[in-house]
């Protein structure tokens, strides 16, 4: 046999009883259980008595008195007696029967004419101690007892008699008329009754079904006369004891039996005192096996909806079936089984760990308990795959995105069960979303100045959210119209003051280059590398009354501010009061002219140097030359040249002379035709100073002064006469 369940088995060396069919035992038991057997009681208890002695027989079916009519038999003949007790004095076999019992065993009572008899009690059971009496009618002596013709002892007591064919007798010297005569009793066979009948093993049910419990009972009976005797029992399967030996209970319950348990069983019964042991016949136990049926497959999670990475449970069950069942699991389209289990149960579980996309499909299971496999129905398992980390891309119509451009944001996850919801973010603020069954999602929008920054996207299919990497977008914003202001902000200024020109564009991508203009002539430029505004310091002259403005450019086109009008009050800072009357003396005039020329040369050179070091910007006299146009740079994308300093003209009157000396300085152009380029860097060269004598201008000669101011640059140059600078060493 295969593996057998251990019911607390212990190895015991037991005799091999004969095997007896369980059904025959049941029939015999039923017959015996129909009615109990009656028994006889003798008083006195001896089965052998002297002639003319009287013995009382009592018929019982239990320890209580019998009820109803009693039937008595003498040598198989029915006696006309109905009472419970009768007196007898004849030798023979007596039996009785009550209404509730069957016929008792026969009892032989002997009434002897012998001079010497051997007496033994009738009610003797296995294991009893029996006292034999050697009785004579007359006085007797030298009594001796024999068993099977062998003398045993004078006062004979049988210890624990058994059911055998031993013959006993006794001898004695009996007083005669004249002398002592030796007498020999007749041989006596002691009628030893069974203390309890050999047990019968009863299984209930007699033909159990696999997996069901079975109760084994070791059936036997004690006679009413010995009902106080305590019995204990032990059960065996083949040659091994089941459970605990010995137990006072005549029953043993087996929780479950299987087909491999269909073997022979038997039991033993034993009395504690006296120690009488008897065993039953072997009985074969037949175990029925029920074929499996109604095989079903159940999936956890229910409905076969799983997320990739979860665990899948396949539960195979049968509605009926006993014994050892072999379960197997299969996926449609595969040859090999996914798993196999053999066990005594109606269901089994297979777990598939961390399911993958390839695990999707239709599943079924099979169950078999030797009668052939039975298949379940197919169940479909579908997998929902979480989205992978999406790939985010941004497309623009040009390399450098500008305000107004239409850009496209693309977001796509390479894996994930549809539908997938894509969300687009700018600095973690949602721009929009799109749900697509497959492929990528696209989001379009027009750029504004606020759209620079980090962009990303999310993919979500309700199984988890994945975020893409960030992509940085820089939006180039053209400059707005700049705001031009003065500092201090006054409508009028005094010649000689240093005025701060401020230009600032409220919007525009850095770096921003600012231009400053006076009457559409470039004064200079400043760059704001990080955005914001820029300032330009200008030392005012009387000629600076007029319109000022500025421009801003970041490579996407120049924007101009509004014109701001500034008025200059007071005498020009570079002009002295004219002397209306001069010294007539020629020598004094020449001397005064020389001294004045030297002083003016030193004074103007020092003042020009201070202007350059203080403001960083040369003074301009836009009335004396043609100014660069604000629109001279026609290509805003090209780098602009810094401003080139223009010639400066200053007039000096040396005294009473009717001559006026003018200081003229300028620098060379570093690139031809670049005078109108505001971004032209000019070289830091020491200016060349030239003095020329002019005709003295009187204050009241307004017509002549106006003509000089409004004349062309070429005409003005023709009126100058170069004069060497006296005491030039003072300039160093």
Pair (545, 468) in one structural domain: no
Q: Using 50, 70 and 90 to split pLDDT, how confident is the model at 287?
A: confident
Asked if residue 589 is part of any domain, the answer here is no
Task: Answer positive or negative: Cα dihedral of 14, 19, 20, 21.
Answer: positive
Separation of alpha carbons 649 and 627, rounded Å: 15
Pair (405, 435) in one structural domain: yes
Residue 473 β-bridge partners: 453
Separation of alpha carbons 8 and 23, rounded Å: 27
Pair (355, 410) in one structural domain: no
CA distances from 412 to 61, 279, 390, 407, 438 (A): 100, 85, 5, 17, 9
Report the chain's terminal Cα–Cα distance, integer Å: 130
Contact 61, 101 (CB under 8 A): yes
For 305-375, where are the E strands, in sequence order? 305-307, 312-320, 325-331, 339-343, 347-352, 361-368, 374-375
Contact 519, 556 (CB under 8 A): no
Torsion of CA 704, 706, 711, 715, to 10 degrees: 30
Write out pLDDT tens, residues 248-260: 889 999 988 888 8
**CA 710 to mean position of chain CA atoms:** 92
Query: Residue range 643-672: average pLDDT?
Result: 43
Task: Reply yes or no: is the peptide bond before residue 488 cis, omega within 30 of 0.
Answer: yes
Task: Give residue 238's region: left, alpha or beta (phi > 0; psi -120 to 50).
Answer: left
Pair (154, 215) in one structural domain: no
Pair (399, 543) in one structural domain: no
Write out pLDDT tens, residues 583-598: 344 455 555 555 555 5
For residue 262, pLDDT beyond 60: yes
User: Tokens 């203009």, residue?
Assistant: 517
Query: Which pLDDT score is estimated for 54?
Result: 92
DSSP structural state of residue 679: B
Of 295-304, 616-625, 659-668, give the range with the top mean pLDDT: 295-304
Pair (188, 202) in one structural domain: no
Q: What percent of the chain has pLDDT over 90?
A: 33
3-state secondary structure of 411: strand
For residue 648, pLDDT beyond 80: no
Pair (266, 119) in one structural domain: no
Closest of 630, 567, 605, 578 to residue 690, by C-alpha: 605
Query: Which pLDDT score is estimated for 590?
Result: 55
Contact 297, 376 (CB under 8 A): yes
Query: Which pLDDT score is estimated for 531?
Result: 87
Mean pLDDT of the chain: 76
Write out pLDDT tens, residues 524-552: 999 999 889 999 999 888 888 899 999 99
3-state secondary structure of 437: coil
What would you report as the CA-atom Rg of the chain, rounded to the nearest whole angstrom? 71
Pairing between strand 157-158 and 130-131? antiparallel
Pair (257, 206) in one structural domain: yes
Pair (405, 468) in one structural domain: yes
Contact 515, 484 (CB under 8 A): no
Query: Which pLDDT score is estimated for 655?
Result: 46
Token digits for 178? 């004249």
Pair (419, 304) in one structural domain: no
- Of residues 39 and 721, which shows the higher confidence score? 39
Contact 359, 329 (CB under 8 A): no
Asked if residue 641 is part of any domain, the answer here is no
Number of structural domains (the chain) is: 5
For residue 390, pLDDT beyond 80: yes
For residue 198, pLDDT beyond 70: yes
Contact 283, 360 (CB under 8 A): no
634: number of Cβ within 10 Å:
7
Asked if residue 373 is part of any domain, the answer here is yes
Length of the chain: 732
The contacts of residue 393 (CB under 8 Å, 6+ apart) are 409, 410, 471
Pair (61, 47) in one structural domain: yes
| Main-chain phi, psi angles of 165, to 5 degrees | -105, 30
Q: Using 50, 70 and 90 to split pLDDT, how confident is the model at 308?
A: confident
**CA 563 to mean position of chain CA atoms:** 71
The contacts of residue 709 (CB under 8 Å, 6+ apart) are 623
Query: Which pLDDT score is estimated for 614?
Result: 36
Which range of residues forms the domain containing residue 547? 482-566
For residue 39, pLDDT beyond 70: yes
Pair (451, 494) in one structural domain: no
């Amino acid at each position: 046999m295969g593996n057998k369940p251990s019911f607390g088995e212990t190895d015991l060396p037991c005799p091999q009883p004969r095997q007896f069919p369980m059904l025959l035992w049941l029939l015999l038991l039923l017959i015996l259980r129909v009615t109990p057997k009656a028994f006889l009681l003798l008083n006195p208890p001896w089965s052998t008595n002297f002639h003319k002695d009287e013995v009382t027989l009592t018929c019982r079916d239990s320890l209580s008195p019998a009820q109803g009519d009693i039937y008595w038999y003498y040598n198989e003949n029915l006696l006309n007696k109905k009472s419970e007790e009768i007196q007898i004095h004849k030798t023979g076999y007596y039996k009785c029967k009550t209404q509730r019992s069957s016929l008792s065993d026969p009892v032989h009572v002997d009434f002897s004419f012998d001079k010497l008899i051997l007496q033994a009690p009738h009610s003797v059971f296995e294991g009893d101690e029996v006292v034999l009496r050697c009785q004579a009618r007359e006085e007797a002596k030298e009594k001796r007892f024999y068993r099977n013709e062998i003398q045993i002892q004078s006062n004979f007591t049988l210890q624990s008699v058994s059911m055998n064919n031993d013959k006993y007798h006794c001898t004695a010297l009996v007083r005669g008329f004249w002398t002592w005569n030796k007498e020999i009793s007749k041989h006596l066979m002691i009628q030893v009754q069974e203390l309890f009948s050999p047990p019968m093993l009863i299984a209930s049910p007699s033909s159990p079904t696999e997996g069901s419990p079975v109760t084994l009972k070791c059936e036997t009976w004690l006679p009413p006369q010995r009902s106080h005797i305590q019995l204990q029992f032990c059960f065996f399967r083949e040659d091994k004891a089941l459970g605990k030996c010995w137990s006072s209970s005549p029953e043993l319950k087996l929780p479950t039996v299987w087909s491999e348990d269909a073997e022979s069983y038997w039991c033993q019964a034993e009395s504690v005192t006296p120690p009488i042991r008897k065993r039953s016949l072997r009985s074969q136990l037949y175990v029925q096996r029920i074929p499996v049926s109604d095989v079903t497959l159940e999936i956890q999670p229910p409905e076969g909806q799983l997320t990739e990475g979860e665990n899948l449970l396949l539960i195979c069950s049968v509605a009926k079936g006993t014994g050892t069942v072999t379960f197997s699991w299969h996926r449609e389209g595969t040859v090999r089984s996914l798993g196999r289990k053999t066990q005594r149960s109606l269901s089994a579980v297979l777990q598939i760990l961390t399911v993958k996309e390839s695990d999707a499909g239709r599943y079924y299971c099979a169950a078999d308990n030797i009668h052939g496999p039975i298949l379940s129905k197919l169940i479909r398992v579908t997998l929902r795959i979480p989205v992978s980390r999406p790939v985010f891309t941004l497309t623009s119509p040009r390399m450098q995105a500008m305000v107004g451009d239409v850009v496209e944001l693309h977001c796509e996850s390479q894996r994930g069960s549809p539908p997938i919801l894509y969300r687009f973010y700018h600095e973690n603020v949602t721009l929009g979303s799109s749900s697509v069954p497959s492929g990528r999602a696209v989001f379009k929008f027009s750029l504004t100045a606020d759209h620079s920054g980090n962009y990303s996207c999310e993919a979500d299919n309700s199984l988890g959210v994945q975020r893409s990497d960030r992509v940085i977008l820089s939006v180039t914003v053209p400059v707005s119209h700049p705001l031009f202001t003065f500092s201090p902000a006054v409508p009028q200024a005094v010649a000689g003051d240093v005025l701060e020109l401020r230009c600032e564009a409220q919007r525009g991508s850095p770096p921003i280059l600012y231009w400053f203009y006076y009457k559409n002539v470039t004064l200079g430029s400043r760059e704001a590398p990080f955005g914001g505004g820029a300032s330009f310091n200008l030392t005012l002259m009387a000629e600076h009354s007029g319109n000022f403005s500025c421009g801003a450019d970041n490579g996407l086109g120049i924007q101009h501010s509004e014109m701001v009008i500034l008025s200059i009050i007071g005498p020009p800072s570079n002009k002295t009061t004219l002397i209306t009357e001069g010294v007539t003396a020629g020598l004094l005039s020449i001397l005064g002219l020389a001294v004045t020329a030297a002083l003016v040369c030193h004074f103007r050179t020092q003042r020009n140097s201070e202007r350059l070091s203080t403001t960083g910007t040369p003074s301009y006299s836009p009335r004396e030359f043609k100014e660069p146009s604000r629109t001279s740079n026609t290509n805003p994308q090209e780098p602009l040249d810094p401003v080139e300093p223009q010639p400066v003209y200053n007039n000096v009157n040396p005294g009473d002379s009717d001559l006026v000396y003018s200081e003229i300085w300028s620098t060379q152009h570093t690139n031809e035709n670049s005078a109108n380029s505001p971004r032209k860097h000019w070289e830091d060269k020491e200016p060349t100073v030239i003095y020329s004598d002019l005709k003295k201008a009187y204050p009241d000669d307004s017509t002549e002064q106006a003509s000089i101011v409004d004349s062309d640059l070429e005409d003005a140059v023709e009126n100058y006469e170069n004069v060497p600078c006296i005491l030039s060493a003072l300039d160093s």
